[in-house]
Amino acid sequence: MSHDEHDACACDEYNDLTSRRSFLQTSGGLGGAALFAWAYPEWLPKVSFADSFAGERDVIVSIFLRGGADGLSLCVPFGDPLYYTGRPTIAIPRPDSSSANRAIALDNFFGFPQGMRFLVPAYQAGHLLVVHGAGLTYNTRSHFDAQHFIELGKANDNSVNTGWLGRHLATTSPMKNAASLRAITIADGLAETLKGAPRALPIADPANYGISGSGSTRAERQAWLGLEWGESIDPAKTAASDALNTINMLRNLNVAGYQPANGAVYPNTGLGRGLRNSAALIKADIGVEAVHLDIGGWDTHTQQDPLAGSMNGTMTQLSGALGAFWQDCIASGLTQNVTVVVVSEFGRNVRENGSRGTDHGRGTAMFAMGRGINGGRVLTNNWRSLSQENLADRQDLPVSIDHRDILAEIVQNRLGNANLGVVFPGYVPVIRGVTKPNA
């Protein structure tokens, strides 16, 4: 919702947003349990909850690049001449070229295109890890299957129908017991990654989340809705109770007035606004411990143009927003630690197609960012030249690192959850040294 929609909504309470301070003063009375007791889903295995991980667990920000992001443009293997052979019109020039579009060297083999330049400071600070040749080991080039399987954390298994991050949250105690909201998707719908999470909601704009209509009957109407929805069925029943609790909580937070730290300026894009709101919620310290965001525009079958056109624009949006988030929440240091993970469903063909684009491939680049990430490097596994015999189906960067290796290590070491068998059922991750021990 943009600001000009307030009048139409008659959302008078949007005008009486108060500071976080007043929320903290009254939070005893506004705790999520005031209206409803939530029930854990039936599938939740019995686990022993630690008293608290507070201070030792990171908040996780999960970002999905929807559409199959071309890893060979996100992080360019300029050291391999075959990259240039396969892409006569859409390759990023070598760092030693004189082109304005030349790659920015990350090491002596890989580089960022100019579109990713806003992430160079995070990389140089050692907070950003690039994982190359990562992805889903299950061979599918369907967007929907691949996204679905990555979000669920297991491919082709009908018994797994919740998201990996949802299961993580369901098997850990809340960072704050009274939290009415543990996880959000910054969107109109809950991402599958978070499916199954207790107290998770889609909130497109946390600054404008309130019930409209007359202020004099608002409490009465909310109570009525709570009663009526209280006997509905899931998933809507739980979502309604979470929504009612969250309305009360967010009414008392001044998300719109959030001031980023450290001079960070978020770009005015969907992801920029989403990460700015995420930072506000994280710093409000209200118990939000997982945020999911999507950014689309990666399905570059035509006119991909990672130098100056479409993909350059999408990468600039990504790196601009993430760079600002790094500056705001990670570079400066926080009382609350944050880890960011960025995944896409697959990469794209090594060779460009006839429309200056690339068709669906396999391995791609993923990213992890945080003070607890062992970054400042491009992690690969048995990286080989892009000659046909080394490629998956003779056309694609193979998946040499299962995306779950990266996520599982973060779940265990940064999110303090040892239940990896529940978060990634049937998978034994390879621990690749993605995280640092707690400082």
Residues binding other proteins (CB under 8 A): 1, 5, 8-11, 66-67, 139-145, 185, 188-190, 192, 195, 200-204, 209-214, 217, 220-221, 224-225, 227-229, 231-240, 242-243, 247, 296, 299, 301-302, 353-355, 357, 359-360, 393
Whichever of 168 and 195 has its CB closer to other proteins, that residue is 195
CA 163 to CA 421: how far, in whole Å? 14
Q: Which residues of 86-108 are buried (b: 16+ CB within 10 A; e: fewer)?
A: bbeebbbbbbeeeeebbbbbbee
Task: Round to the nearest angstrom and report the end-to-end CA distance of the chain.
Answer: 40
CB of 235 vs other proteins, minimal distance in Å = 4
Whichever of 67 and 133 has its CB closer to other proteins, that residue is 67
Q: What is the DSSP string of 8-56?
A: HHT-GGGGG---HHHHHHHHHHH-GGGT------TTPPP-PPPS--TTT
Whichever of 289 and 299 has its CB closer to other proteins, that residue is 299
Whichever of 1 and 30 has its CB closer to other proteins, that residue is 1
Whichever of 222 and 419 has its CB closer to other proteins, that residue is 222
Q: Are 282 and 300 in contact (CB under 8 A)?
A: no
CA 286 to CA 255: how far, in whole Å? 12
Whichever of 85 and 232 has its CB closer to other proteins, that residue is 232
CB of 247 vs other proteins, minimal distance in Å = 7
Indicate the SS3 state at residue 207: helix
Q: Of 282, 296, 281, give the one whose Cα is nearest residue 344.
A: 296
Whichever of 97 and 214 has its CB closer to other proteins, that residue is 214
CB of 187 vs other proteins, minimal distance in Å = 8
CB of 43 vs other proteins, minimal distance in Å = 14
CB of 343 vs other proteins, minimal distance in Å = 16
CB of 273 vs other proteins, minimal distance in Å = 16
Whichever of 243 and 399 has its CB closer to other proteins, that residue is 243
CB of 303 vs other proteins, minimal distance in Å = 9
CB of 149 vs other proteins, minimal distance in Å = 11
Contacts of residue 102, Cβ cutoff 8 Å, sequence gap at least 6: 92, 93, 94, 95, 96, 114
Give the number of other Cβ atoms within 10 Å of residue 8's Cβ: 9
- HEC per residue, 182-195: CEEECCCCCCHHHC
Peptide bond into 41 cis (omega under 30): no
- At position 207, the amino acid (one-letter code) is A
